[in-house]
Amino acid sequence: MVINKPTGLLSQSTYGVDSLLFQLRAFLQERDRAERAPFVELPHRLDRGTSGILLVAKSKSALACFSEQFHSRKTRKSYLVAVERCPAEIHGTWIDWMRKIPDVARAELAAANANQSREAILEYDQLFADDQTSIHRIRLLTGRMHQIRLQFASRGMPVVGDRTYGSTLPWLPAIRHEHDEHFALHAHSLAFRHPKDGREVVIEAPLPDAWTQRFPNFTQ
């Protein structure tokens, strides 16, 4: 299955905390009138504030297949991101080294030889700009925690609405409590191999309404 996750929703969570995976299991169990919740697992995740494509495995063999594809970088992922300000160049490749900050839900740039430091590579193409923001298509060549958010923020261009990394501009919907996250990062397309016949599947997820409200002149 492929799900277009809304912003503000966890991909998965501990028992008793709402998440896309919890809602999906409950929905499928009710729909199929099953005694037990069905097997559904995520071979990858999106941050709470990120919207867009999530691939869902409905069997253990599919989960193993998808997990191997993500691990070996056989998938192709494309994101759309709106950030404060604009890069100096409209196209580019950024290579950094980053690591998770212990006991904190944040990442940081680090030296290449630092403990637990991992290489982070992305390519970007600017698609739109106004007086405050710019929109970019992102191709991730690695998949690090908060990679897009950190690589842009470290260059003075935080993702719109991403308070964790210094954004001062709001994003829709409005924040209701401190744990809410809504920011302008959307997993737009994903290409992967079907676990049964190996054919390539390419999926695109439409942008949420917040994008057209904030950027009425932007077209993909």
Q: How far apart are CA 150 and CA 209, in angstroms?
A: 25
| Residue 14, pLDDT score | 81
CA distance 41 to 35: 18
Q: What is the pLDDT of residue 177?
A: 67
DSSP helix, strand, coil percent of the chain (3-state; round to 5) = 20, 30, 50
Alpha-carbon span 167 to 115, nearest angstrom? 28
* Under-50 pLDDT residues of the chain: none
- What's the pTM? 0.93
Give me the pLDDT at residue 16, please: 75
- Compute the distance between CA of residue 44 and CA of residue 29 in angstroms, rounded to an integer: 22
**pLDDT for the residue numbered 219:** 81
Query: Tell me, what's the pLDDT at 40?
Result: 95
**What's residue 180's pLDDT?**
76
d(CA 117, CA 136): 26
Q: Where are the beta strands (DSSP E) in the chain?
A: 2-5, 51-55, 76-84, 91-100, 107-109, 118-129, 133-140, 185-193, 200-204
Q: What is the pLDDT of residues 170-215, one digit of tens each?
A: 998 776 666 678 999 999 999 999 999 999 999 999 999 999 999 9
Spatial separation of the C-alpha atoms in residues 200 and 31, rounded to whole Å: 29
pLDDT attached to residue 178: 63
Q: What's the first-to-final CA gap in the chain, in angstroms?
A: 24
The C-alpha torsion from 48 through 51 and 55 to 60, rounded to 10°, is 20
Q: Which domains does the chain have, with CATH numbers?
A: 2-214 (3.30.2350.10)
Q: Which residue numbers are catalytic?
A: 47
**pLDDT the model gives residue 174:** 72
Is the separation of the CB atoms in 64 and 33 below 8 Å? no
Hey, which residues does 73 pair with through a beta bridge?
A: none
Return d(Cα 134, Cα 117) in angstroms, integer: 29
CA distance 165 to 213: 23
